[in-house]
Structure 1
Amino acid sequence: MNFDAFITCAVTGSGQSHKKSDKVPVTPKQIAEACIEAAKEGAAIAHIHVRDPETGAPARDVALYKEVVDRVRSSDTDVILNLTAGMGGDLILGNVESPLPLGNGTDMAGATERVAHVEELLPEICTLDCGTMNFAEADYVMTNTPGMLRAMAARIRDCGVKPEVEVFDTGHLWLCKELVDEGLILNDPVLVQLCMGIPYGAPNDPNSLMAMVNNIPKDWVFSMFTIGRMQLPYVAQAVLTGGNVRVGLEDNIWLEKGVKASNGDLVARANTILSAMNVNILTPAEVRAKLNLKKRG
């Protein structure tokens, strides 16, 4: 049981959720405001993607990240910024009979380009998706080769940003341990996010979850989430297994049946669940001390 936990809010993501709920932030201004709203409800960390302000499509434009970061840093709200570095690994094959040429929406970028916004803006944390995975889409593959991850990890380490290693399945945790052994990820401590219940990664059932948890070294720090209706039950699951919490509109748009949530709503509900379990919710300053982070901005 973890009686001193922090909350991360993943405020927008890169999926199609903006077409399902008008509460999903799209513009840099909306994304920054969502980060601030989440922080005021108790989130210590805001996990950030950016979107095309006109279409809502996922983007990786450094200028969009900069506007979000500048808006949050210039506010009077303290929150740890966690920028995704997952964009640029989207591979969409043509179809099952003719995989090539690649389909529309393919976005494959090199290691330097994938972390350009991290190196320029120097958030306290950025994500590193530690493996390749099929999602529940016929011809789409989230592509992160070992070579790409080693190159990205080295650049992230060299600019002094802590990677949050996104682990979608057991093999991703195996690779993460190798990156630590090679000195590409520093154990000061290692920060892992267990991404459960995402097709076709690790299911979010208790047995699969505990297989992941039991393979995390004792001196690492981990958090976890799942998607959809199980997001809020996983708040309790996270601390019961010794971890920390992630909620937010990237993974779930509902507060309860028939009631769409804002990011602030989801953090507030997580806060209520944890408080009822007598869990102390860590502040940004306390999380910086726990994770050995360098405050920016």
Structure 2
Amino acid sequence: MNYEVIVTCAVTGAGDTVGKHPAIPVTPKQIADAAIEAAKAGATVAHCHVRDPETGKGTRDVHLYKEVVDRIRSSGTDIIINLTAGMGGDLEIGGGEDPFKFGKATDLVGPLTRLAHVEELLPEMCTLDCGTLNFGDGDYTYISTPNMLRAGAKRVKELGVKPELEIFDTGHLWFAKQMVKEGLFDGAPLFQLCLGIPWGAEANTTTMKAMVDNLPEGALWAGFGIGRMQMPMVAQAMLLGGNVRVGLEDNIWLDKGVHASNGSLTERACEIITRLGARPLTPAEGRKKLGLKARN
């Protein structure tokens, strides 16, 4: 069991949740305020996407990321900033017998373009989505090839940013370990086990334990489940020795019929942690555990 737990709050994501919740953070101010809210509720890390303020859709706009980061950094509230680098891997295959007639959801760019905001803003952490995945039903696929990942990992290492290795299936874990063998990361690698997204790894005890049993020796890791499995996976990750993640990116409900906020989800996770006899780490403690240096 892990008794000193890093709590990540993923405050908005890029999914189609805006119309399903009355207060999904959309504007840079709302996203920054959500990260600050999570910090005050006990989060160690804020994981941030940005959205187009006009449409609510996910975007790669560097200027929006800059506003979010500037607002958090100038707020006087301490939180480790972890920016997604997963945007730009979307490929919607054409339906039926026209697979090359790509759909409007397609936003596919190279590995270094996906890091443009990381290059400019130098957050303490960013994500690397460690493989290609059939993402839900239909024809939507997330693309992240081995060579793309090697190029991204190399650049993140050069920038001195800590990568969080997003693992959506067992093959992703296999390749992430290969990158570790190739020396593409400094320090102990950090794995994030992302469970419950169709059609990746299921959010259950058996799947999480199988992944944990295949982590390299000395690895730091966290795990989460989406939807109703968010809080059960908080407890499960702790019991297996890991850290946790909650937030509106992964789950919009606190209880049945009760919309959550990032603060309420973080508070619920911290309550589970303390009731199991452990404690959530402060951002300063999280930096020490992760081997980070605070950015000015």
Work out whether residues 32 and 71 of structure 1, in 8 Å CA contact, stay in contact via their aligned partners in 2: yes
- Aligned partners of 1:95, 1:130: CA distance in 2, in Å? 26
2:103 paired residue number: 103
Equivalent pairs: percent with the same residue? 60
What is the CA distance between 1:137 and its match in structure 2? 2.6
- Aligned partners of 1:244, 1:292: CA distance in 2, in Å? 15
Structure 1: 4+ residue segments shifted above 4 A: none
SS in 2 for 1:111: coil
1:123 paired residue number: 123
1:183 matched to 2:183? The reply is: yes
1:202 paired residue number: 201
1:172 matched to 2:143? The reply is: no
- Aligned partners of 1:93, 1:110: CA distance in 2, in Å? 18
Q: Output one character per residue of 1:125-182: Cα deviation in whole Å (capped at 9) or x when no partner.
A: 0000000000113110000011111111111010000000000111111111111111
Structure 1 unmatched ranges of 5 or more: none
What is the CA distance between 1:280 and its match in structure 2? 1.7
Moved more, 108-117 or 72-81: 108-117
Q: TM-score, normalised by structure 2?
A: 0.99
Work out whether residues 12 and 31 of structure 1, in 8 Å CA contact, stay in contact via their aligned partners in 2: yes
Work out whether residues 270 and 279 of structure 2, in 8 Å CA contact, stay in contact via their aligned partners in 1: no
Work out whether residues 92 and 140 of structure 1, in 8 Å CA contact, stay in contact via their aligned partners in 2: yes
1:215 paired residue number: 214
1:71 matched to 2:71? The reply is: yes
Map 1:46-85 → 2, pairs under 5 A: 46-85=46-85
What is the CA distance between 1:217 and its match in structure 2? 1.9
- Aligned partners of 1:200, 1:287: CA distance in 2, in Å? 31
- Aligned partners of 2:223, 2:282: CA distance in 1, in Å? 18
Map 1:241-260 → 2, pairs under 5 A: 241-260=240-259
Q: Output one character per residue of 1:250-296: Cα deviation in whole Å (capped at 9) or x when no partner.
A: 00000000100000000001111111111121110111111111211
What is the CA distance between 1:41 and its match in structure 2? 0.4
Work out whether residues 23 and 261 of structure 1, in 8 Å CA contact, stay in contact via their aligned partners in 2: no
- Aligned partners of 1:191, 1:40: CA distance in 2, in Å? 24
Amino acid at match of 1:133: L
Work out whether residues 91 and 106 of structure 1, in 8 Å CA contact, stay in contact via their aligned partners in 2: yes
1:232 paired residue number: 231
- Aligned partners of 2:224, 2:206: CA distance in 1, in Å? 15
Q: RMSD between aligned alpha carbons?
A: 0.8
1:271 paired residue number: 270
What is the CA distance between 1:95 and its match in structure 2? 0.4
- Aligned partners of 2:157, 2:271: CA distance in 1, in Å? 36
Work out whether residues 96 and 139 of structure 1, in 8 Å CA contact, stay in contact via their aligned partners in 2: no
- Aligned partners of 1:289, 1:271: CA distance in 2, in Å? 20
- Aligned partners of 1:114, 1:135: CA distance in 2, in Å? 19
Structure 2 unmatched ranges of 5 or more: none
2:144 paired residue number: 144
Moved more, 27-36 or 209-218: 209-218
- Aligned partners of 2:132, 2:79: CA distance in 1, in Å? 30
- Aligned partners of 1:128, 1:112: CA distance in 2, in Å? 12
- Aligned partners of 2:90, 2:137: CA distance in 1, in Å? 12
- Aligned partners of 1:147, 1:184: CA distance in 2, in Å? 12
Work out whether residues 196 and 203 of structure 2, in 8 Å CA contact, stay in contact via their aligned partners in 1: yes
SS in 2 for 1:87: coil
SS in 2 for 1:231: helix
Q: TM-score, normalised by structure 1?
A: 0.98
SS in 2 for 1:98: coil
- Aligned partners of 1:102, 1:281: CA distance in 2, in Å? 44
Amino acid at match of 1:57: K
- Aligned partners of 2:17, 2:158: CA distance in 1, in Å? 34
Work out whether residues 92 and 105 of structure 2, in 8 Å CA contact, stay in contact via their aligned partners in 1: yes
What is the CA distance between 1:96 and its match in structure 2? 2.4
